[in-house]
A and B are shown apart, each in its own frame.
Chain A
């Protein structure tokens, strides 16, 4: 099938196109040079055209997401829509069902989304859900930061074995990259304890979070993985944690990137740029993080923007979740995984008049507005931790309009004036910046810029058209229009299929699941597997033969090859 999008005001930052009237030709799911005269024509009529949205950090599938659903029927009932001839029912707000996940992302013009954390042992569950999420392409990052084999090899300083383990773990979990959450803390939470900084020693394993982060960055580059190490810093949720975050970012200097991208992605900075020493003198240090980013080239971040109202916090950071539950008197789910990591789920309600929440709201925005290069700060809400992803249009409008920010600030706790810099920041982002933070930048950070996040020839034909004419719109004044346009795409095209028209789902093709097949020399793998077999014989509660995610769970796989041995792409 051929498709021609005419008269669009195209923002395609990766190809240097910023609002030009450019035609986009689509054939067989790809962007091509030109199409035949028989192509179906979509007249964009001067409206905004961007590559399909790419989300590099969202919790869309797997054990903890489902725990969130099971413990929150009150959330499920908050987003109900009956089935139609085309769509299955939508449910939920912070923890939508699988169908609403796919539909709502597509309705916002997003076509690719990555689940930010899966334990290998529970990866089968992640893939069961990914398989049921319609339309979008997706993948999942795999947790490695507290795994016993990781810590053993870090202690032994055996990077070959660690690389072999990571490669095997990605295969076992059909994962896309290395996720590290509160390194070392996951193991310590096994006995209800935690690490308090980069240099605490994890008992019995005799390694520090610093060792774990650096070693995993090294093997990430040894293996030439598309994405970098994706880090949820230690001390998340504790006032003063910005120092730990900066110190973690410093570690990136020790490793050279193997590709044109960062060596470390520090995620959801809203939760790790906290100043102060307690809840009383709590303040934003997002400016310090932005300052660091402005003076370095090897670290990227995402916002984890806070959205007022209901959220569900979910993370492999088990101890922070217990602390949250106690602080909020909220229900608490914990889900530690043997030999691998921790996890917790706690509902929260962010309130404008609560000083801490108001300050946190400012943090994500400060980070994005004070960091000069939008490629270094991706737009996320750490769905559903800062708030549900359906609020991205709200975040876009806030970034594009100082007027909107000032209106919002008036409704917030006064602490936002004294403890953040947001009231004095006048910068307003443009459509090109937004296209970077939600498309080109996320694709680049993920290492997928060859086919995602741009509209050049050879890219996947993922395109969104929004009902807004950039040359006739002043986003600063007309922020409400911006928000509503991004909420409901005029068209979303996924792999060449029109999946959304006028904000409504028109088709629900199955998306693909991206995973990374990283090869290591056979003998290296075999040495590593001896240890793994011992772990299963003695410690795991299941057999090795039943551990790895089978092919049956990826009916539409997209394999990205990597590894210490260069492998021909078949």
Chain B
């Protein structure tokens, strides 16, 4: 078991890029080695140790690394990027690209996360107790696939373009989502317990389950009603434009 505790040193105004905060990068490294890992703040190259107070105990394989972060990380980007295993627990808010491209392990956040959390995620789990920004579980500009696997849970709400280009995996939002959730969904499962608007545009595959839709896309075929886990939903299929086989459930 290896535990790494991270706290921000000073108020960070210019976003830091800290893709080295990851169990994969920490595993088997000493406290000093972790502190000297590269980080960037604006155009200044720096180290994790310069930006954060870091305490490390024990050593272990990636899966045995636990990163405990406490404080305001709302200007720290790319935490847990590409991680394959281990645990990152964050008490506080975080900036963009949390857990981007992660393929395993678990990240939990007690606060809010900014845009592109879980971007191009392949596996593992992301739990966000607060709200998420834009493009949750979406792709990078121009890519055909966003999230491909894993699970994202948001206890609060999320903004626009949630799960864009999803090719797999699951996103659950307890609150509301912004416009065009599940845009170009190509095989992912999205559950929005609250409301959203214009969900499922251009979806070819996958499932979207929504509590309430403010504005429906005019491209879905109503197939009747269906019960999911004992709750009655209107079932739609589409997007008819792309001859889509996606299913959209909207609570009765």
The answer to whether A binds B is yes
Interface residues of A in 507-554 (CB under 8 A from B): none
- Give CA–CA (A72, B143) in the complex, Å: 8
Count residues of B near A (Cβ-Cβ below 8 Å). 4
Interface residues of B in 125-161 (CB under 8 A from A): 140-143
Q: Which residues of A contact B143 (CB under 8 A)?
A: 74
- Give CA–CA (A72, B144) in the complex, Å: 11
Q: Which residues of A contact B140 (CB under 8 A)?
A: 73-74, 77
Tell me, yes or no, whether A449 is within 8 Å of chain B by CB: no
Q: Is the interface of B mostly helix, strand, loop or mixed?
A: loop
| B210: min CB distance to chain A, Å | 26
- Give CA–CA (A72, B141) in the complex, Å: 8
Interface residues of A in 77-116 (CB under 8 A from B): 77
Looking across the interface, which residue of chain A has its beta carbon closest to that of B145?
Answer: A74
- Give CA–CA (A348, B142) in the complex, Å: 13
Tell me, yes or no, whether A75 is within 8 Å of chain B by CB: yes
Interface residues of B in 170-199 (CB under 8 A from A): none
Tell me, yes or no, whether A246 is within 8 Å of chain B by CB: no
| B130: min CB distance to chain A, Å | 29
Looking across the interface, which residue of chain B has its beta carbon closest to that of A74?
Answer: B142
Q: Which residues of A contact B141 (CB under 8 A)?
A: 73-74
- Give CA–CA (A381, B142) in the complex, Å: 24
Q: Is the interface of A mostly helix, strand, loop or mixed?
A: helix
| A208: min CB distance to chain B, Å | 38
Q: Which residues of B contact A71 (CB under 8 A)?
A: 142
Looking across the interface, which residue of chain A has its beta carbon closest to that of B143?
Answer: A74
- Give CA–CA (A71, B140) in the complex, Å: 13
Q: Which of B140, B141, B142, B143 has the most CB of A within 10 A?
A: B142
Count residues of A near B (Cβ-Cβ below 8 Å). 6
- Give CA–CA (A71, B141) in the complex, Å: 9
| B167: min CB distance to chain A, Å | 13
Interface residues of A in 40-98 (CB under 8 A from B): 71-75, 77
Looking across the interface, which residue of chain A has its beta carbon closest to that of B242?
Answer: A329
- Give CA–CA (A526, B143) in the complex, Å: 52
| B205: min CB distance to chain A, Å | 12
Interface residues of A in 485-517 (CB under 8 A from B): none
Q: Which residues of A contact B142 (CB under 8 A)?
A: 71-75
- Give CA–CA (A222, B102) in the complex, Å: 63
0/1 per residue, B105-140, Cβ < 8 Å to A?
000000000000000000000000000000000001
| B211: min CB distance to chain A, Å | 31
Looking across the interface, which residue of chain B has its beta carbon closest to that of A329?
Answer: B242
Q: Which residues of B contact A72 (CB under 8 A)?
A: 142
Looking across the interface, which residue of chain A has its beta carbon closest to that of B140?
Answer: A74
| B17: min CB distance to chain A, Å | 14
- Give CA–CA (A73, B142) in the complex, Å: 6
| B166: min CB distance to chain A, Å | 16
| A151: min CB distance to chain B, Å | 37
Looking across the interface, which residue of chain A has its beta carbon closest to that of B204?
Answer: A329
Q: Which residues of B contact A73 (CB under 8 A)?
A: 140-142
- Give CA–CA (A162, B190) in the complex, Å: 62
| A271: min CB distance to chain B, Å | 23
| B184: min CB distance to chain A, Å | 11
Q: Which residues of B contact A77 (CB under 8 A)?
A: 140
Q: Which residues of B contact A75 (CB under 8 A)?
A: 142
Q: Which of A73, A74, A75, A77 has the most CB of B within 10 A?
A: A74
- Give CA–CA (A75, B144) in the complex, Å: 12
- Give CA–CA (A495, B142) in the complex, Å: 40
- Give CA–CA (A19, B18) in the complex, Å: 52
| B238: min CB distance to chain A, Å | 16
- Give CA–CA (A267, B141) in the complex, Å: 33
| B189: min CB distance to chain A, Å | 22
0/1 per residue, A287-300, Cβ < 8 Å to B?
00000000000000
Q: Which residues of B contact A74 (CB under 8 A)?
A: 140-143
| A518: min CB distance to chain B, Å | 42
- Give CA–CA (A97, B142) in the complex, Å: 17
- Give CA–CA (A71, B142) in the complex, Å: 7
- Give CA–CA (A74, B165) in the complex, Å: 14
| A159: min CB distance to chain B, Å | 47
- Give CA–CA (A77, B141) in the complex, Å: 10
- Give CA–CA (A478, B141) in the complex, Å: 40
| B165: min CB distance to chain A, Å | 11
- Give CA–CA (A534, B140) in the complex, Å: 49
| A443: min CB distance to chain B, Å | 37
- Give CA–CA (A72, B142) in the complex, Å: 6
- Give CA–CA (A73, B140) in the complex, Å: 8
- Give CA–CA (A72, B140) in the complex, Å: 11
| B138: min CB distance to chain A, Å | 13
- Give CA–CA (A165, B143) in the complex, Å: 43
| A75: min CB distance to chain B, Å | 7
| A55: min CB distance to chain B, Å | 27
- Give CA–CA (A240, B142) in the complex, Å: 34
| A65: min CB distance to chain B, Å | 16
| B126: min CB distance to chain A, Å | 22
| A219: min CB distance to chain B, Å | 42
Looking across the interface, which residue of chain B has its beta carbon closest to that of A72?
Answer: B142
**Further pairs besides A73-B142, A74-B140, A74-B143: 8, Cβ < 8 Å:** A71-B142, A72-B142, A73-B140, A73-B141, A74-B141, A74-B142, A75-B142, A77-B140
11 contacts between A and B (CB under 8 A): A71-B142, A72-B142, A73-B140, A73-B141, A73-B142, A74-B140, A74-B141, A74-B142, A74-B143, A75-B142, A77-B140
**A residues in contact (CB < 8 Å) with B:** 71-75, 77
Closest 5 CB pairs of A and B: A74-B142, A74-B143, A73-B142, A73-B141, A72-B142
